[in-house]
A and B are shown apart, each in its own frame.
Chain A
């Protein structure tokens, strides 16, 4: 069974610190990797996508991918209380003419003032 594993947390960091969120996946043929943010009671929204090994930066967010280690991470610099949410890692493979995203259970992040 293809799995995506995340530490459920909560991960608590002070305002202004770097938050580091990690994710591992089991399916070696996975092609696309995503981080979604989900506020309590709301639907997930895309933060970052990454498709090749290395780092990808977008503002305060950096996604890191290591396919050899089957590892994806998300760094949030200068964390703000508004970053407090659950962060979902998703891994996608192709099949049946469509991409099939599989999600981890999410890591709860708390940024305290």
Chain B
């Protein structure tokens, strides 16, 4: 069966520090991968999605970037965090050609 892992679960970072969140999927190949952010009291905002290795589409311009160095690995990064980057970051996947999202457990980021 397929599983999705996301880490770290919680982190507190100072403004201006770098960020790296990692997501891996097991039990499938060539998944579509997504990064969403959920700020307090707000809905899920799609940040990036990827249909294959090295293929990244950005939905919202900001100081975040994403990379997909391997088929089942998706990384969200920032060189310098802003206060507004605080939120609940969710990685999700679908099978290629499918449209039902399965989410990871999420990473809660607090920027101070």
| Residue of A34, A98, A99, A102 with highest tally of chain B CB at under 10 A | A98
Dominant SS among interface residues on chain B: strand
Dominant SS among interface residues on chain A: strand
The answer to whether A43 and B99 touch (CB under 8 A), given A98-B51, A104-B43, is no
Verify B101–A98 contact, CB threshold 8 A.
Answer: no
Interface string of B12-43 (1 = CB under 8 A from A): 00000000000000000000101010000011
Is B49 located at the chain interface by the 8 A CB criterion?
Answer: yes
For B32, what are the chain A residues with a Cβ–Cβ distance below 8 Å?
98-99
- Comparing A9-17, A44-52, A58-66, A71-79, the segment that makes contact with chain B is A44-52
* Interface size classification for chain A: 20 to 34
Is A81 located at the chain interface by the 8 A CB criterion?
Answer: no
| Residue of A49, A96, A104 with highest tally of chain B CB at under 10 A | A96
Shortest distance between the CB of B28 and any CB in chain A (Å): 15
Is B70 located at the chain interface by the 8 A CB criterion?
Answer: no
Is A25 located at the chain interface by the 8 A CB criterion?
Answer: no
For B46, what are the chain A residues with a Cβ–Cβ distance below 8 Å?
100-103
Other than the given A88-B44, A101-B46, 9 more pairs (CB < 8 A) read A34-B100, A43-B104, A43-B106, A44-B90, A46-B100, A46-B102, A96-B51, A97-B51, A98-B49
